[in-house]
Amino acid sequence: MGKQLLEYVYEHEQKRADKIYLTQPTQGGAVIDYTWKEVVDQARRMAAHLRAQNFEPGSRIAIISKNCAHFVIAELAIWMAGHVTVALYPTINADTAQYVMDHSESCLVFVGKLDEWHHIKPGVSEDIPHIAFPLAPEGHGYETWDDIMARTEPIADNPVPDPESLGILIYTSGSTGKPKGVMHAHGRMAAAAEGMVRELGFTDEDRALSYLPLAHVFERAYLECTSLISGAHIFFAESLDTFVADLKRAHPTVFISVPRLWLKFQLGVFQKMPKKKLDLYMKIPILSGIVKKKILTNLGLDAVRLAGSGSAPIPAELIAWYRSLGLKLLEGYAMSEDFAYSHLSTDEHNEPGYVGVPYAEVKVKISDEGEILIDSPGKMMGYYKLPELTAESFTEDGYFRTGDRGERKEPSGLLKITGRVKEIFKTSKGKYVAPAPIENIINNDPHVELSCVGGTGMPQPFAQLVLAEDLRPKMSDPSVKAEVEEALGNLLKEVNSQVEHHERLQFLAVANDEWSIANGMLTPTMKIRRNAIEDATKDQVEGWYEAGSKVIWA
């Protein structure tokens, strides 16, 4: 077994003591920089405080916070004290918070940077200790991080956890049902993060902006854990309103995002310069280079050497568009259950539409039913308190059943995701339809932000969609609405020309409201909650079919 994450941290404490590790914005545009020496000193002090509570070894300690410097520092302290981190999404409701806190039996909670703590607070028992991060909501009334720092001496030893011991519980965002607690051992997290650092060439010269939720495996693995090994500089975003300024401050060399945000960035470019005009400029040799550089500079991505997309499918055309600008955008594929260590595009194998090739030491098979099976060094220990589900989730030879359908391209091993095993539905004609590939075609249209294909038991499938953000406020203008309706009619024809006869869409239904995390239509990592979207409109579907229109305004 190789080195543990904390061992790398102690090395940085000695060798990079005065190098800035974390940059945290505060209200008003100021920032606080934390060096490695300061980060580890604070972690050691909090570890001493946690030890003094005399919790049982391996106790679960919760963090409820948006991304911030103290999320990382608190996690280091939890590990140093011999305990297990349980991170809760900062957007969850009280019921989900209560479920996770009770299920994990968390004995202490760190309350951090939060927009709506009053919505979460009723789900968190007042009977356990609360510690407030420096950016916690005002008026919280809890013991503060800074007070503990001021009165507590740091631990002097360098504790290293048993590689086989539990390090974190990641409660899946859950597009259906209650969240499951994915158990990850210290050794496997370190092995996966080491593989990422090695394959992606992370160094202490890299800079990254942390804004996707640290409660999710994607950000935790690719930013936090890789930086603990490489020593890369992590910047945090203050808010959605300051995102562009935060991005330009970080001037990242590595930038990881999700398809919805890559699409939003593209739509923002098209708002400033129509696509036809941009396409023309891109064909003019001298002008092309200037335009590409200006676009990437305005996005704050001009220093990016490596860009990644994951968490959900991304249209192949969108990847190709970013690469045409000179941005090395790679798609990856992984899950909470393999600590995000599964597949990634490479310089050699980066065909749009494919999610890349397996990382070193990752083994892949496709079952007879077309399901992707993965055996990864980052493989989970299992689902917390769910031994039967854990057993069902693995094959007899130790491969994890992903629930995704896929195809492999030989000899390269490039993997294409063709949908979810359980998302495939049957029409009244007895034909099976996989929604994801059709949604990818729809989502590539500049008029569309997100889509959801359904039609179980209907003669033909249909798609619900949310209009692009810039179009939604304009729908009160009859002339603009007519133009959009015509464009969507053309999109319907285009989609139906690219799919099999039984997959052709009967109509497109335009959602009245956007799909968001707040209204339960998206997961915290911005994947659609298919069940929630379908449940919200199930009483209208028959009427849509009877209307006979190609574009329905729901």
Condensed to tens digits (0 to 9), the pLDDT of residues 181-240 reads: 999 999 999 999 999 999 999 999 999 999 999 999 999 999 999 999 999 999 999 988
Which pLDDT tens digit goes with each residue over 88-101? 999 888 999 999 99
**Out of 132-141, 427-436, 500-509, which region has the weakest mean confidence (pLDDT)?**
427-436
Angle between helix 36-52 and helix 5-15 axes, rounded to 10 deg: 130
Domains in the chain, start-ordered, CATH in brackets? 5-186 (3.40.50.12780), 238-420 (3.40.50.12780), 425-553 (3.30.300.30)
The one-letter amino acid at 514: E
Distances (CA, A) of 544 to 468, 539, 554: 22, 10, 8
Report strand pairing: 462-467 vs 448-454: antiparallel
Phi, psi dihedral angles at 170 (to 5 degrees): -110, 115
Kindly state the tokens that stand for 260. 């919805």
> Which of left, alpha, beta for 124 (phi over 0: left; psi -120 to 50: alpha)?
beta
- Cα R_g (the chain), whole angstroms: 24
The one-letter amino acid at 297: T
Which pLDDT tens digit goes with each residue over 361-388? 999 999 998 999 999 999 999 999 999 9
- Measured CA to CA, the distance from residue 455 to residue 417 in angstroms comes to 21
Given a cut of 50, whether residue 175 has pLDDT beyond it is no
- Measured CA to CA, the distance from residue 381 to residue 167 in angstroms comes to 10
Peptide bond into 387 cis (omega under 30): no
- Measured CA to CA, the distance from residue 224 to residue 214 in angstroms comes to 8
**Maximum CA extent, the chain:** 73
- Measured CA to CA, the distance from residue 414 to residue 408 in angstroms comes to 6
Count CA atoms closer than 13 A to 550's CA, side-chain side.
Answer: 14
Tell which residue, 55, 332, 33, 431, has the closest CA to residue 207.
33
- What's the pLDDT score for residue 541? 92
Per-position b or e across 46-56, b if 16+ CB within 10 A of its CB = bbbbbbeeebe
Kindly state the tokens that stand for 389. 């589900």
- Measured CA to CA, the distance from residue 64 to residue 408 in angstroms comes to 39
For residues 428 and 458, the answer to whether their CB atoms sit within 8 Å is: yes
Given a cut of 80, whether residue 147 has pLDDT beyond it is yes
- What's the pLDDT score for residue 174? 53
Reported as a pLDDT band with limits 50, 70 and 90, residue 260 is confident
Report strand pairing: 233-236 vs 207-210: parallel
Average confidence score pLDDT of the chain: 92
- The stretch 322-329 carries a mean pLDDT of 91
- The stretch 36-60 carries a mean pLDDT of 98
pTM of the model: 0.84
For residues 309 and 316, the answer to whether their CB atoms sit within 8 Å is: no
- The stretch 246-261 carries a mean pLDDT of 91
Distances (CA, A) of 536 to 29, 106, 312, 352, 519: 40, 34, 22, 33, 11
Of 240 and 76, the structure prediction assigns the larger pLDDT to: 76
Residues 6+ away with beta carbon under 8 Å from 37: 13, 17, 18
Reported as a pLDDT band with limits 50, 70 and 90, residue 178 is confident
Kindly state the tokens that stand for 535. 């449940």
